[in-house]
Structure 1
């Protein structure tokens, strides 16, 4: 570490970072492909924001930006706010990376376009769930408090941050501290049942039912500081803006079409109501002068049959066609299915009809009687070929005599 507190490009933290992880420096060559550029984590703190669970997407980012800018008194063109989350929590993140916009521009230039990512140094530490990773570089402490948290800070500040994290809980089950750990940090964990590991030994971690800490295994590379957090939104806005007028015209046209369809439907409903009113007036005037009009077809059929009987002389039967037509109308209204119909002058109309059950057979006979027909139920029995009941009826037309009911 040099006199200004910046870590040199040739300096590693206890050999913790593998080859390919390089601290950025002025005047150094730009990074090559697959290399990861590191910057001091103290300049890119990971901070907690309080956000409603229902807030999503761009609105969530806007509220987080407003909170951080108010807390840091930084303008929109001074501070960059980037959501930070582990895979699977893209919608309900509660932490943000905060960095000076000018510093990010400088790092972007130093890193060049070909490297894998530019990250705060603490995100390059290996970590796993239930394991905290701590490493010291001079008076600077790098820490990962599980996959979702971390920091780089001076020794006194780091000790305070660790105490606060332990107080919030939950405490880690193990601390991975390669190299030597300063006594000031060891005292922070006194009184806690925490295993200290100098090496990520698989056997020791397996005994604790913990996964080995791994580098960049929790999506850290996706938070590349070179990426402009507003670039994606700006690109989307630029792509959408040219279409705003066609979309607006289309929306207006769709609204006009929907309005026209509603007016047409309203007109049809009004026309249907007028036709029904005219039909009821005609039925009332010519066929059903009194009583309720419940089934226009059957009631008009009955009136026509009675009129034909009256026209042919008292005591005369209705014609076979009138009798069959009126009976069929009543059967259809009752949901009955005629299987067979036969007419003879001696017996009148004989009908074999399928209905749902015996009660439906009784209802059918009653409905035929209410239509002015004389009905005799010859037999009702369970149908062997089909579900339901098969009933045999003798049906005669209206006359002055009272027929039998089934």
Structure 2
């Protein structure tokens, strides 16, 4: 396991590519013969800063030598029990394996291992609370622990150290990360053209929808402009148009009232027709309409509020209809208004309708 310095913002394949290039330039490692893979540690961080370096020929030999149901192929130091703040040393025929907590370690000859362990203790910001020794004692390493004031333990349970409980199996050297990535690429590549065509089709459809929507909006604006021009020319004499329906309704009601006032005798049905136009323009709901010679023409209407009643009276009078507001009261439907109506030139006469 070797440390390596990488920019913190690099992620994924780009981080691996930079790591491979640095190891090749720094140590002259040939990627064709040496396997390099990131060591994510116990947290699985994407900001890894160590790499596992292994001879590909050795990996091939190890794969052939173990059973298929074996748990994993790991560096010897990653199989040692450990815990946070506990370092582990194990002697073997080739030298020593040293575990520097869950996220670091190394293997070396005994003499070199003692030197590397001392360097690690000198460089670390937080020294371990205990040094767990497995196997035969190594005087040089025990002496180093004593110099740094670190107790040597031989029982893993007493310091809470456990083996293969810190995500070590994820570092299985049997797994070929490059092969897995190549297989994933082979699965994705056949779909690249359908996905590209689908994306182009989606863009074309969105553009067509935008064009249609824009054309409809422009046509609507043109119709609105034509309507405003007609209303200003023929109904309001160039005055500003605030509400087309109300203003046109008032003009039509006034024209009808003027036409009937020029006749010999007003007609209650004509008066009701004029009133209905104004009521409709004001969104009023007529409950009853009646006429008799004693009380004249009366309308009971429902409006939203008292302000709407006042606006209705003003609209009727502007249309040439005399209004006597006889009663207003609020109910569940809104405001009920009772109005006595007549033409401006006198009371309407006739039989009961």
TM-score, shorter chain, exceeding 0.5: yes
What is the CA-CA distance between 1:120 and the residue it aligns to? 0.8
- Are 1:392 and 2:336 counterparts? yes
Question: What does residue 323 of structure 1 align with?
Answer: 275
What is the CA-CA distance between 1:194 and the residue it aligns to? 4.5
More helix by share: 2
Question: What does residue 300 of structure 2 align with?
Answer: 350
Q: Deviations over 1:37-86 (max 9, x none)?
A: xxxxxxxx24344342x543333333333333333333432432212224
Q: Distance in 1 between matches of 2:274 and 2:260?
A: 13
Question: What does residue 127 of structure 2 align with?
Answer: 171
Question: What does residue 6 of structure 1 align with?
Answer: none
Other structure's SS at 1:230 match: helix
Matches within 5 A, 1:109-258: 109-111=64-66, 113-137=68-92, 140-154=95-109, 155-164=111-120, 167-190=123-146, 194-201=150-157, 204-205=158-159, 212-258=160-206
- Are 1:277 and 2:225 counterparts? yes
Contact 1:368 1:375 in 2 (8 A): no
What is the CA-CA distance between 1:193 and the residue it aligns to? 6.2
Q: Distance in 2 between matches of 1:189 and 1:325?
A: 104
TM-score normalised by the chain length of structure 2:
0.77
Q: Distance in 1 between matches of 2:281 and 2:218?
A: 28
Give the direction of change, closer, same or farther, for the CA distance of 1:173–1:320 in structure 2 (3 Å limit): farther
TM-score normalised by the chain length of structure 1:
0.68
Q: Distance in 2 between matches of 1:142 and 1:377?
A: 107
Q: Distance in 2 between matches of 1:143 and 1:398?
A: 110
> Aligned Cα RMSD in Å?
3.5
Q: Deviations over 1:127-148 (max 9, x none)?
A: 2233222222367331222222
Question: Tell me, which stretches of 5 or more residues in structure 2 are unaligned?
Answer: 318-322, 346-353
- Are 1:98 and 2:46 counterparts? no
Q: Distance in 1 between matches of 2:66 and 2:43?
A: 29
Question: Tell me, which stretches of 5 or more residues in structure 1 are unaligned?
Answer: 1-44, 206-211, 333-337, 356-360, 402-406
Q: Distance in 2 between matches of 1:368 and 1:182?
A: 107
What is the CA-CA distance between 1:319 and the residue it aligns to? 4.0
The more displaced of 97-106 and 213-222 is 97-106
What is the CA-CA distance between 1:191 and the residue it aligns to? 6.8
Q: Distance in 2 between matches of 1:375 and 1:149?
A: 98
1:286 counterpart (215, 224, 234)? 234
Higher-Rg member (1/2)? 2
What is the CA-CA distance between 1:296 and the residue it aligns to? 1.8
